Amino acid sequence: MHIDQFEKQQAIEEALTISQLLAKQGNEEKKRAFFKVFANYILKTSPEALNDEKLKIFDNHNYEYNKEEIEKLLLHIVKVGAEELDYGKSYRTSDLAKFFGVSVQTIHNWIEQGRFIGIEKPEKFKHVRISENVVYVSPSGGRIPIHQIAKTYQEEQKNTPIRKLSKAEEIKEIVDTIVFYEKKYGGPYEDTLGVKEELATMESRDAHEWRYLIKLLEGTHE
């Protein structure tokens, strides 16, 4: 959605009006609670706000309400909302597993636990595409955008000699993926997608990869 300069200026003026209205009206205790929740929301959805000189309220988590601080938050929303929408790259759970050095199941567990801000819990066995703009929340509460984690991983790979997978490791990866598809569709390929006359887009993509993996596995036993 494109926001032109005139619309942005109007939004800024309205943000200033809203901050003035909030300052004049309402119970002080309720306003303080609203400000705290509002500030936490900005912190969760815009981790880069921590580095914004205008939003130093996050430095000490002192959520005492005043007109100037609510104004800063509202203007931050206008600034972010007026930017062109950019979803950037997206990654599979297997990509994230490589970045973090964990299993794909661990990534799914983290999604279930809400460790990634911006990802809805998927249906069972449903493929998940994860935007590079999603934020990972570490056990200590730190927030790191996925694109930063991907960059760190890629830099480490440049400085690390590539280790070729052993035959046993290759076979295990193939088998694990085939088992995933068998669980997803409730049986082996020849009894599920292999006999289905019409396939949906995702089913067609899965069927293609599934057949490829089966051929690879058969080749490893020759």
Residues 12 and 78 in one domain: yes
Query: 73 near 19, Cβ under 8 Å?
Result: no
Residues 67 and 108 in one domain: no
pLDDT of the chain along its 222 residues, tens only?
A: 566 677 778 888 888 888 788 777 777 788 778 777 777 777 667 666 655 666 665 555 555 556 777 787 788 777 777 665 444 678 888 888 888 888 888 888 888 888 888 775 555 545 677 888 788 888 777 788 888 888 888 888 777 665 566 778 888 888 888 898 898 889 999 999 999 888 877 788 788 888 888 988 887 655
Q: Of the candidates 158, 176, 191, which is a domain's last residue?
A: 158
Kind of pairing between the strands at 130-131 and 135-137: unpaired
Backbone angles phi, psi at 83, to 5 degrees: -75, 150
**Burial grade of 1 (CB within 10 A; 0-12, 13-18, 19 or more):** exposed
Query: 72 near 54, Cβ under 8 Å?
Result: yes
Residues 12 and 58 in one domain: yes
Kind of pairing between the strands at 116-117 and 135-137: antiparallel
Residues 13 and 69 in one domain: yes
Residues 31 and 75 in one domain: yes
pTM of the full structure = 0.39
Residues 124 and 171 in one domain: no
Residue appearing with tokens 């303080």: 32
Residues 131 and 176 in one domain: no
Look up residue 161 and give its two tokens.
């000699």
Residues 17 and 37 in one domain: yes
Number of domains within the chain:
3
Rg, Å, the chain Cα set: 24
d(CA 17, CA 167): 66
d(CA 24, CA 65): 12
Residues 64 and 97 in one domain: no
Q: Of the candidates 19, 54, 82, which is a domain's last residue?
A: 82
Which residues neighbour 88 within 8 Å (Cβ) at sequence distance 6 or greater?
Answer: 131, 132, 133, 147
Domain range holding 34?
A: 5-82
Query: 84 near 2, Cβ under 8 Å?
Result: yes
Residues 68 and 96 in one domain: no
Q: Report the DSSP beta bridge partners of residue 73.
A: none
Q: Of the candidates 158, 184, 206, which is a domain's last residue?
A: 158
Nearest alpha-carbon partner for 95 in 130, 124, 126, 119: 130
Backbone angles phi, psi at 143, to 5 degrees: -120, 125
Residues 73 and 114 in one domain: no
Residues 151 and 216 in one domain: no
